[in-house]
Amino acid sequence: MSVAALETLLERRFHAATVHAKAAPPRGGWSTGITDVDRALGPIGVPHGRITELFGETSSGRTTIAYALLAACTARGDIGAYVDPDNALFAPAAGSAGIDLKRLIVVRPSEASSLRRAADALVRSGACAVTVLDGCSAEVLQPHHYARLAAQAEKNGTSLVVLSRGGCQSLASFASLRVHLRGLTPLWQAGSDGGVRLHGYRIALDVAKSKFGAPGKSASFDVHFPEVAGSWWVPACADAPAAITGSATDACRESSA
């Protein structure tokens, strides 16, 4: 068992105890390529050899961050993996996000046992620099699975990124970095005819836990739709949303908490 996994187990078992055995710092980390998000994550970013949890409700921006990490991974010439039990990965969108699909392994397990074996094999092999677990993965894995995955990730340097709704205590305990995606805010652009166009959306996030940086930081950034969306106009009416013109300034702020 790795030092990091042992530390987490002790923290879970003895909540009031101070754990003196500290894990070695990770061997670097991944940048998302989104300036203010990277600033909020700290100098390491998404750490190599550790578990990172991206949690939030459906359509909160989790996949956007995961795609950014896989894009960085494959752009460097490394192999990435995506465990996709719900068939949620859309290849054209992944390619548009910058992921080199020729360097991406996609596994679509049909049952819980297959998912657990796939996650274990991908992390244990050390062949994938970034492995993303999507869908129901967080709930399927038990504490002993997370302990084993944490140890193997640390040994092989794999960044294991788990997308969840945030209700899995075992995952929260073993994750070195936890990022809360707070949801999407639509961005509307005014048209010359008085209507509005859905221009994109804003993603907001908070760093809920970081073993290698200061938690509590927040960031937001805008994602704009391709120009083909320019035909999506909504006539002006009393119920139309207020138009938002221009691009919002990326905000990265430390919470007062």
Domains and CATH numbers, the chain: 3-181 (3.40.50.300)
What single-letter amino acid sits at 102? K
Structure tokens at 60: 């909160």
According to DSSP, the residues that pair with 221 across neighbouring strands are 203
Ramachandran assignment for 81, one of left (phi > 0), alpha (psi -120 to 50 degrees), beta (any other): beta
CA distance 145 to 77: 29
How would DSSP label each residue in 95-135?
HHTT--GGGEEEE--SSHHHHHHHHHHHHHH---SEEEE-T
Burial 20-29 (b: 16+ CB within 10 A, else e): eeebeebeeb
- pLDDT score at 247: 36
Q: Among residues 88, 119, 89, which one has the least CA distance to residue 101? A: 89
CA distance 148 to 152: 6
- pLDDT score at 244: 37
pLDDT along the chain (257 residues), means of 10: 58 48 69 93 94 94 96 97 95 95 96 95 96 90 95 96 94 96 90 80 95 89 71 48 38 36
Q: CB neighbours (10 Å) of residue 183?
A: 16
Helix (H, G, I), strand (E, B) or coil at 38: helix
- pLDDT score at 19: 43
